[in-house]
Amino acid sequence: MTGWAKDTTELVGRTPLIELKRFPTRAGGAAATILAKLEMFSPGGSVKDRVAQHMVCEAESQGLLRPGSVIIEPTSGNMGISLAMIAAARGYRCILTMPDTVSLERRLLLQRLGAEVLLTPARQGMRGAINKVIELRTTLPNAWYPQQFYNQANPRAHRLGTAAEIWEETGGAVDIFIAGAGTGGTITGVAEGLRERKPDVEIVAVEPASCAVLSGGRPGPHRLEGLGPGFIPDTLRLDLIDRVIPVSDQDAVSTAIQLMKDEGLSIGISSGAVAWASLQEARKEENRGKVIVTIFPSAAERYLHTILFDDLRGKTR
């Protein structure tokens, strides 16, 4: 791109792809090459920028979102930051509901981006935040509810954007794609986009070991923020997935910490989880010479109050 971006939304996507070198070497070597797509380079700092932007564009072209509309969504995660950013850049009011356990830094950032934050009691979980949005819809006739777990614009953002970028950046050399599944938008959309171009590309999903619903297990608590919602969302196509790798909280965190030191890259917990899974695949003899592509959804700074930094804060958990 020559010149400059005309607004923040033009900077979404076209994230860099990097080969992990010191990390697999220090872990004892690997037979395959691991490439990671760095979504923290997007202006809202995560993979959700693409989805927020695409959902907003589709809603605008369908007439669901017009000047004066209000964007409302229950989210305490990266989706909230991306929606707040796109809403600000395009001039929409944005109301986000979330449990009152959300970290202070997250809440303050959302407010600085111009979003209105409505806190619901933590004991009601995400259900409380969802019910609040449903209630708001009855009082706000001009509200638009993106619904990231249902809206097919979510996987479409990845089919049209992320998959096309991976294809171009690797010159079609990608053999295995590995991503964590939250809404499933990333893995579904990228799988669709890559399979259109290379039908035998392998698709590997990563989920929390203590909430391994895709592997046939029961939902349970876990610390892998952004992954494992505990149900199978409408935005996830299981038929595209060849294998599911469950990753423990501890393996995700220790891998993220090791990788940050090895590569000098700031990554979040779910990036640690997919890095761990990528290393297992890269070590397999049958994958010798293959190219593995994975997605690092966000940076470590977003998880200062989580297990990623517990040891430095002097906590044991």
Q: Are 19 and 35 in contact (CB under 8 A)?
A: yes
User: Among residues 24 and 185, whose Cβ is nearest to ligand PMP?
Assistant: 185
Decide whether 110 or 227 has the Cβ nearer to ligand PMP. 227
138 C-beta neighbours (distance < 10 Å), count: 8
Q: In the numeric block, which tokens belong to residue 279?
A: 């290393």
Strand partners, 245: 206
- 48 assigned to active site: yes
Min. distance of Cβ 28 from ligand PMP in angstroms? Answer: 26
The angle subtended at Cα 298 by Cα 297 and Cα 302, nearest 5°, is 150
- Report d(CA 174, CA 163) in Å as an integer: 11
Structure tokens at 219: 């939902």
Dist. CA 43–CA 51, nearest whole Å: 13
> Of the listed 270, 271, 278, 298, which one is catalytic?
270
Structural Rg of the chain based on CA atoms: 19
Q: Which of 37, 48, 132, 290 is catalytic?
A: 48
Q: Is 193 one of the annotated binding-site residues? A: no
Nearest CB to ligand PMP, comparing residues 42 and 186: 186
Residues contributing to the site for ligand PMP (CB under 6 A): 46-48, 77-78, 180-186, 225-227, 268, 270, 297-298
Give how far Cα 48 sits from Cα of 137, 243, 264, Å: 23, 24, 23
Q: Residue 161 or 226: which CB sits closer to ligand PMP? A: 226
Tell me the C-alpha distance between 209 and 111, whole Å. Answer: 34
Catalytic: 261?
no
Instruction: Give the contacts of 202 (CB within 8 A, at least 6 positions apart).
Output: 175, 176, 177, 242, 243
Nearest CB to ligand PMP, comparing residues 82 and 120: 82
Residue 144's SS3 state is: strand
> Does residue 97 have a known ligand-binding role?
no
Ligand-binding site membership of 270 (annotated): yes
Question: Which residues are part of the catalytic machinery?
Answer: 48, 270
Binding residues for pyridoxal 5'-phosphate, by number, are: 78, 182-186, 270
